[in-house]
Structure 1
């Protein structure tokens, strides 16, 4: 394991992927940048972050020895690791908004972008990009965003938070390696945002409908209870939760 600190880069995920392409990268290598010029989120969204106030980093995970039930297992591990690490800093009311955003008091504090390396249809490695709002308090035009400092009033040491997350990633990947996928899935579903609560969704065509989140399938689709007691599964491109 090694930690690489950069003053600036376009994207820590891109930096780590290029590093992996050109040389051998140790398991759990972490790349942290004070500034990302082209930070990325889910579905190509841009990730905005004030310089040196937040954590923008990526972690390399070698999955060569793993038998993954599904690539979604990586999302389970990352979500649970983030939540557990943040609990250690007494961040309140933590939930996972499917598939892997982390919310505190119903505000988004953390986004994740997982990019897998696939060889012969197997996931052999994963580059896990994490953007965590830590000490930033101004989120202009982002009413659903917040930070650790905004929630608790405390200024946090970025290195301490990063190391806590890395420790929990190691722990939960060890759980996964032992074959405890169902236990991870159960733990994930227990902290799923708006589970079993009436919620409003928007589909890919922009149509809104109501339903109840019941959990996730083994491949990571969201299971929603609709009218007439029908449970339907949706993937990330098909559904947006409005809240």
Structure 2
């Protein structure tokens, strides 16, 4: 039944091939094994239900049957499309934000480096994993998890970051396979344009917390406090620290600081 529905939504997208599983541990694991064999570039793995999804830093991604959307795209280096691995996470996030806006009229922003937010709450996470054979990079898998229905949002006490769903933003239920199609359309459109200036401009345009104060941590050094200014050409997060200096965060995560801190630090005009 679900496979037939996917045929309807995906048949004209020019995907080389795709596989649907009613239930898997992780779509990334399935995709990595397929990549190790013969999967072509832009091959797709979709799950009806994912039981052991994962995110960055060893965290889990909870997937709810029929409410959550879990899928992975396989990306291989080829002569036709550039392959800057440092932009693959942004590729997934940008595809989701643009799909939400173009398909459903919902504004979303990219919480650097790998989450998508609606009204400041997490609705999507992206996990990119690389596949190596000795010292040769074979490709990557771009795993995307989206809270489509309200039931996909975990209880608040178990969350690392406040969460929401696309259904909550819309105010009515939505077909998750339509969401998948919209995201895939945007993903495939940007796939060959990762090194274009327009890609960086679109990424920066959708960046969450621009002009706002955040706490940033790379897991190695004490947390920093800075105001988000944008992105460097390498995709690092540019922060303006309290002493006026610029710091570029190459890895880690950020959290917005409460309004009283922003006010004490001079607010938007500091």
TM-score where L is the length of structure 2 = 0.79
Helix, strand or coil: the match of 1:43?
helix
Name 1:136's counterpart in structure 2.
150
1:167 aligns with 2:185: yes
Query: Equivalents in 2 of 1:99, 1:202: separation in Å?
Result: 12
Shift of 1:117: 2.7
- Counterpart for residue 126 of structure 1: 140
Q: Specify which of 122, 126, 131 is matched with residue 108 of structure 1.
A: 122
Determine whether 1:11 maps to 2:26. Answer: yes
Contact 1:222–1:234 (Cα < 8 Å) also in 2: yes
Change (3 A) 1:233 1:32: same
- In 2, Cα distance between the equivalents of 1:131 and 1:120? 30
Which is helix-richer, 1 or 2?
Answer: 2
For residues 102-146 of structure 1, the C-alpha deviation after alignment (integer angstroms, 9 at most, x for no partner) is 111111100000112346866542211000000134531236111
Deviation at 1:26, TM superposition (A): 2.6
Q: Please report how far the alpha carbon of residue 49 of structure 1 lies from its aligned counterpart in structure 2 after TM superposition.
A: 1.7
- Structure 2 counterpart SS, 1:14: helix
* Matches of 1:156 and 1:20, distance apart in 2: 31
Residues 208, 174 of structure 1: alpha-carbon distance in 2 compared, 3 angstrom cutoff: closer
Question: 1:67: how far off?
Answer: 4.0
Shift of 1:235: 2.7
Find out whether 1:55 has 2:73 as its counterpart: no
| Residues 1:157 and 2:172 aligned together | no
SS at match of 1:51: coil
Name 2:204's counterpart in structure 1: 189
Report the alpha carbon displacement of residue 200 of structure 1 after superposing the two structures with TM.
Answer: 3.3
Which of the residues 251, 258, 263 maps onto 1:236?
251
Gaps of 5+ in 1: none
Following superposition, the deviation at residue 241 of structure 1 comes to 2.1
Matched residue count: 237
In the alignment, structure 2 segments of 5+ residues that lack a partner are 1-15, 258-270
Offset at residue 92 of structure 1 (A): 2.6
Give the structure 2 partner of residue 117 of structure 1: 131
Checking the alignment, whether the CA contact within 8 Å between 1:91 and 1:104 is kept in structure 2 is no
Tell me, what secondary structure is at the counterpart of 1:96?
strand
**Greater Rg over alpha carbons, structure:** 2
Alpha-carbon distance in 2 for matches of 1:144, 1:71:
28
> Which stretch of structure 1 is more off in the superposition, 200-209 or 26-35?
200-209
Q: Residue 132 of structure 1: SS of its match in structure 2?
A: strand
